[in-house]
Amino acid sequence: MVRMLAVAALAGTAVFAGPAASADGETPLFTIKDSRITESSGLAVSPTHKNVYYTHNDSGAEPTFFAVGSNGRTRAKFTLQGAVARDWEAMAASKDPATGAGVLWFGDIGDNFDGAWPDISVYRVAEPTAMQDAALPAVRYRFRYEDGGHNAESIMVHPRTGRLYVVSKQFAGAVYAAPKRLRTDRVNVLRKVGSAPMMATDAAYAPDGSSFVIRTYFSATVYRTPGKQLARVSMPPLEQAESITYTADGKALLTGTEGAASPVYRVPLPAEVLRETAPRPAPTPTPTKKTGPALVAETRAAGDGDAGVPTLAVAAWLAAAAAATGVITLIARRTR
């Protein structure tokens, strides 16, 4: 794990475009009170339980995670069966696009030597239905990057497609997309789809999939899509900023830090981000003027109602047109 002080001296070399928005005061939304949570490295809002937040410890811990209430107190501790916590650095929460059930993802993706491990792992587990301690079955997916090993502390899942992304933690970081269909019988390849800010520590998709955010030690950047930046968001001062996610309504960000009794802050999204990501009204079809056969076909489809031309009138018009055409043809022949 690279500490904040190790990169603070290089902060001046990072270049970020776009406006910045201030944090929502200095009062935490809540403070984690469980003495077992000393290195909160991942953060996610439950997709199915109201006022439930998930977190997990950093490397060197068991393959466990915690459900925390809005008062900061732990509601349950869960263990992933058969999983290994080599260097857990991130988590994400989503809903299964097919069933709507909650899904949790845990990234064993830390690699401080940028290639020390032949592959990395992400675990997928069904979200618990009850807030009580339990052991949960998990599915393990193994990954490798298409361009060699990288250190990473960020994963995110698109809420509409269910596609997984990993963001590398480097001075020239990148966003990598997993295959649309993940395989458990072989190593999946992560392919680069965009750049990322320097030393990314976490990332998350908005609940509606309209944007995503990438956190660094110093700020957060919101993107419409990889490479298309919307705004940079200032963050509250934290000892070691490690986590970020969206609120359930998608109007603000939640960010946390490592350490005992670590706070979680709520930071409203800038107005320009909310405006840019707001649902667009469906365009109103422009009526087109129809003539000839198209008009006749539409009139026939309309029947004898008040809004259309009566069928008998259409038939009379067609008969008159045919008769006129015959007369014109006869006259043309006689005048040759």
CA 125/CA 104 separation, integer angstroms: 5
The structure tokens listed for 186 are 């072989």
From the list 112, 116, 119, 193, the residue with the least C-alpha distance to 156 is 193
Structure tokens at 296: 């006749």
Q: What is the pTM of this model?
A: 0.79
* Residues 6 or more apart in contact with residue 277 via CB below 8 angstroms: 206, 208, 210, 211, 224, 230, 250
Q: What is the Cα–Cα distance from 256 to 262, expressed in whole angstroms?
A: 7
**Averaged pLDDT, 73-92:** 96
Would you place residue 22 in the very low, low, confident or very high pLDDT band (cuts 50, 70, 90)?
A: very low
Averaged pLDDT for residues 194-213: 97
Written as one letter, the residue type at 335 is T
Confidence tier at 319 by pLDDT (50, 70, 90): low
Least confident stretch, 59-73, 113-127, 252-266, 277-291: 277-291
Query: What integer best gives the mean pLDDT of the chain?
Result: 84
Contact 1, 59 (CB under 8 A): yes
Residue 330 above 60 pLDDT?
no
**Mutual orientation of helices 311-334 and 292-302 as an angle, nearest 10°?**
150
pLDDT band, residue 318 (cuts 50/70/90):
low
Please say whether the dihedral angle defined by the alpha carbons of residues 76, 235, 190 and 120, taken in this order, is positive or negative.
Answer: negative
Higher-confidence residue: 85 or 283?
85
Q: Is 76:68 a contact under the CB 8 Å cutoff? A: no
